Structure 1
């Protein structure tokens, strides 16, 4: 018999070492750079400080994933905005996430 588990453990998300620099390059090249670059830098600095306090990389990984998602989905968001679809009855996702965290 083998002492190996019968399932493969999940590998946590670990970005490539150059991922933050590549992401910043992409943000600077985007038309939203004036808003996105300072916001990313602020979130990244806060995550670095949290990392120093807690010795956990989770916050850094979360910031990277969130901003990579924004970059990846920006074309779809732009297309939706240009479509003229009325989204006035939409739910603010930031508010929705806030409700979920408070539970």
Structure 2
């Protein structure tokens, strides 16, 4: 019998730490309001459903954004041509 994986459970101070990282980022003017809006929505859902899942998802998504930001900034600052970029939303629409 296989034991199910332990669900992700952030440290109690994770939201505050993440918000501090977002405020220190060069895109703070965009990221902080977006995070706060997503967090408020997830908090309301959590209250309504008695589940922490939405809060954990918001934290994971934003932690991934913060972690990948240096690589994204390096790419953008390098001046590389990304004109051959394919929008995944467009591909999904074509498949329907």
TM-score range (shorter-chain normalised) is 0.7 to 0.9
CA deviations 1:28-67 (Å, max 9, x no partner) are 1111111100000000000001111111111100100010
Matches within 5 A, 1:17-32: 17-32=12-27
In structure 2, what is the Cα distance between the partners aligned to 1:88 and 1:58? Answer: 37
Residue 45 of structure 2: which of 50, 60, 65 is its match? 50
Q: Report the secondary structure of 1:12's partner residue.
A: coil
Higher-Rg structure is 1
In structure 1, what is the Cα distance between the partners aligned to 2:78 and 2:20? Answer: 28
Partner of 1:67: 62
Partner of 2:75: 80
Q: How many residues align?
A: 93
Which aligned runs of 4 or more in structure 1 are off by greater than 6 angstroms? none
TM-score, normalised relative to structure 1? 0.81
Displacement of 1:15 in angstroms is 0.3
Residue 36 of structure 2: which of 13, 19, 41 is its match? 41
**Which stretches in structure 1 are left out of the alignment for 5+ residues?**
none
In structure 2, what is the Cα distance between the partners aligned to 1:28 and 1:69? Answer: 16
Displacement of 1:91 in angstroms is 2.7
Aligned CA RMSD, in angstroms, stands at 1.9
